């Protein structure tokens, strides 16, 4: 689909030139007072309540916006996603629609936002060369940092979909087994190395068929959009349990995502080439054209920015992740979520985890005047993501979580 028109200016108060202008329009699920949760689109500091406006316009898919999750809309596929986006842009830029639409703009401060998608399967990758290299150097200082498979395939694991939570949900410090380096046996107790992973998540809209792979060129036909994602990680639990089958209880206790899903259509201006991949990947992983995204991330702890990981530096792109995830014939379903892995850039100020920022706990960092290696109870972490849009920068919402004391 080509966009020959340039978007007009919105009539919504305060929205033009903001991070949530008509070039953005992320989808979420909101409720107000005792009303049922339903689908809305963010414009400026408002949520556009789609169901009544769609009913008034007799939109054929309008009833899908009465659902308490985005799934039914996501399942309709790219043609419908594009036509609905065009319809909403028309509503919000045409002064002639203002009288009909304005009563359905709900101020953000009056709504509660929910988990936007009923999550199907969840996969987490490990796509940052800088992150994988840093972790290799920290955990295996005497060995080659990258394992032999890393430059040949996007490494990933299947995570726990049922513990994906909406931004704003408190994260209880997990308990589990860990073993100190000098100890001969493990002990049980609250994690002492609670960490974050600043990531970008990809939400599957249109499903694929079992037994058929999704080529890299079909990425945008299946993936609807993106969410900021925090893959909370208990490093001490992880270090003891992860060999030989990979992450398990050190990561399954909570994964936070943004309450707004930003459509790929809003990220056209953010598309960039992937870094040079050497050696050249196998055929099914090759991409034509820009397959990366220029998305900036800020990691804030207790009100202070401590790191700025750059998504554009990621080695493997999401089309490659999806192609790899399905190359064996595994299918994807509406609502499936896959995430990039920790986003880290080459410098210290661009590291997307505290494991790296503190270099395994040996180089503490500070936030709001307090020294930290890993998180303490009561610490609040906020990830903020922005990208270039058609008019200026667009906001991808925030991923907020406060550490709650362990239940012992």
The DSSP call for residue 193 is -
Distance CA 136, CA 157 (A): 17
Cβ distance to Mn ion smaller for residue 65 or 232? 232
The first and second tokens of residue 274, run together, are 């992937």
Minimum CB–partner distance for residue 245 and Mn ion (Å): 16
Residue 164 CA to its chain's centroid (Å): 11
Contact 138, 359 (CB under 8 A): yes
Residue range at the interface with Mn ion (CB under 5 A); choices 44-52, 159-167, 231-239, 272-280: 231-239
**Residue 340 beta carbon to Mn ion: minimum distance, rounded to whole angstroms:** 8
Site pattern 184..213 for Mn ion (x: CB under 5 A): -------------x----------------
Q: Which of 310/389 has CB closer to Mn ion?
A: 310
Binding to Mn ion in span 308-337, by CB under 5 A: none
Token pair of 261 as six digits: 């899903």
Nearest distance, CB of residue 38 and Mn ion, angstroms: 31
Looking at 69, 195, 231, 356, which residue binds Mn ion (CB under 5 A)?
231
CB atoms within 10 A of CB 113: 21
Site for Mn ion in 232-291 (CB under 5 A): none
Q: Does 124 bind Mn ion (CB under 5 A)?
A: yes
The C-alpha atoms of residue 393 and residue 371 are separated, in whole angstroms, by 33
Nearer to Mn ion, 87 or 248 (CB): 248
As annotated, the active-site residues are: 131
- When the beta carbons of 124 and 130 are compared against Mn ion, the nearer one is 124
Q: Report which residue's Cβ sits closest to Mn ion.
A: 231
Which range of residues in 121-129, 145-153, 364-372, 384-392 is near Mn ion by CB under 5 A?
Answer: 121-129
Rank residues 23 and 124 by Cβ distance to Mn ion and give the closer one: 124
Structural contact between residues 174 and 134, judged by C-beta atoms closer than 8 angstroms: no
Nearest approach in angstroms of CB 121 to Mn ion is: 15
Nearer to Mn ion, 130 or 197 (CB): 197
Q: Residue 28 forms beta bridges with which residues?
A: 40
Give CA–CA dist 395/387, Å, rounded.
7
The number of residues that bind Mn ion (CB under 5 A) is 3
Q: By the 8 A CB rule, do 170 and 194 touch? A: no
Minimum distance, C-beta of residue 139 to Mn ion, in the bound complex (Å): 15
What single DSSP character describes residue 111? -
Secondary structure, 3-state, 43-100: ECCEEEEHHHHHHHCCCCCHHHHHCCCCHHHHCCCHHHHHHHHHHHHHHHHCHHHHHH
Tokens of 32: 């107000």
Single out the segment in contact with Mn ion by CB under 5 A; choices: 65-73, 223-231, 282-290, 378-386: 223-231
Please spell the DSSP secondary structure of 222-280, one letter per residue. HEEEEEEEE--EEHHHHHHH-TTT---TTTTT-EEE-S-BEEGGGGGGGEEPPPPPSSP
Say if CB 261 and CB 396 are below 8 A apart: no
Instruction: Output the smallest distance, CB 126 to Mn ion, in A.
Output: 7
356 binds Mn ion (CB under 5 A): no
Least Cβ distance, residue 229 to Mn ion (angstroms): 8
Measured from the CB atom, the residue of 114 and 161 that comes closer to Mn ion is: 161
Specify whether the backbone of 71 is left (phi greater than 0), alpha (psi in -120 to 50) or beta: alpha
Q: Of the listed pieces 28-36, 104-112, 225-233, 370-378, which binds Mn ion according to CB under 5 A? A: 225-233
Q: What is the contact surface with Mn ion in residues (CB under 5 A)? A: 124, 197, 231
């Amino acid at each position: 689909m080509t966009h020959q028109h340039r978007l007009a200016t919105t009539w919504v108060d305060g929205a033009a030139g903001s991070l949530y202008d008509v070039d953005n329009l992320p989808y979420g699920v909101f409720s107000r007072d005792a009303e049922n949760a339903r689908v809305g689109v963010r414009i400026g500091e408002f949520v556009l309540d789609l169901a009544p406006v769609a009913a008034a316009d007799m939109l054929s898919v309008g009833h899908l916006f009465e659902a308490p999750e985005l799934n039914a809309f996501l399942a309709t596929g790219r043609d419908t996603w594009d036509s609905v986006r065009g319809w909403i842009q028309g509503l919000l830029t045409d002064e002639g629609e203002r009288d009909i639409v304005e009563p359905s703009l709900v101020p953000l401060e009056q709504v509660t936002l929910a988990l936007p998608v009923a999550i199907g399967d969840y996969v987490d990758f490990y796509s940052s060369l800088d992150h994988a290299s840093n972790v290799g150097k920290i955990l295996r200082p005497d060995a080659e940092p990258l394992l032999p498979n890393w430059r040949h395939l996007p490494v990933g694991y299947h995570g726990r979909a049922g513990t994906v939570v909406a931004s704003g949900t408190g994260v209880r410090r997990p308990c589990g087994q860990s073993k100190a380096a000098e100890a001969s046996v493990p002990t049980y107790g609250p994690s002492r190395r609670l960490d974050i992973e600043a990531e970008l998540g990809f939400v599957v809209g249109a499903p694929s068929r079992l037994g058929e792979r999704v080529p890299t060129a079909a990425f945008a036909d299946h993936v609807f959009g993106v969410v900021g994602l925090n893959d909370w990680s208990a490093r001490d639990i992880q270090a003891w349990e992860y060999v030989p089958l990979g992450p398990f209880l050190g990561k399954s206790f909570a994964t936070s995502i943004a309450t707004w899903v930003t459509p790929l259509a809003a990220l056209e201006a953010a598309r960039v080439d992937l870094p040079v991949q050497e050696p050249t990947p196998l055929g099914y992983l090759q991409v034509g054209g820009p397959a990366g995204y220029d998305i900036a991330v800020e990691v804030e702890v207790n009100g202070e920015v401590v790191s700025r990981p750059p998504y554009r530096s990621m080695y493997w792109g999401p089309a490659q992740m999806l192609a790899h995830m399905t190359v064996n014939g595994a299918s994807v379903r509406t609502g499936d979520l896959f995430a990039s892995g920790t986003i880290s850039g080459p410098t210290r100020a661009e590291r997307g985890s505290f494991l790296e920022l503190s270099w395994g706990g040996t180089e503490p960092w500070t936030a709001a005047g307090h020294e930290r290696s890993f998180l303490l109870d009561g610490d609040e972490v906020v990830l903020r993501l922005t990208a270039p849009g058609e008019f200026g920068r667009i906001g991808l919402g925030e991923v907020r979580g406060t550490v709650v004391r362990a239940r012992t």
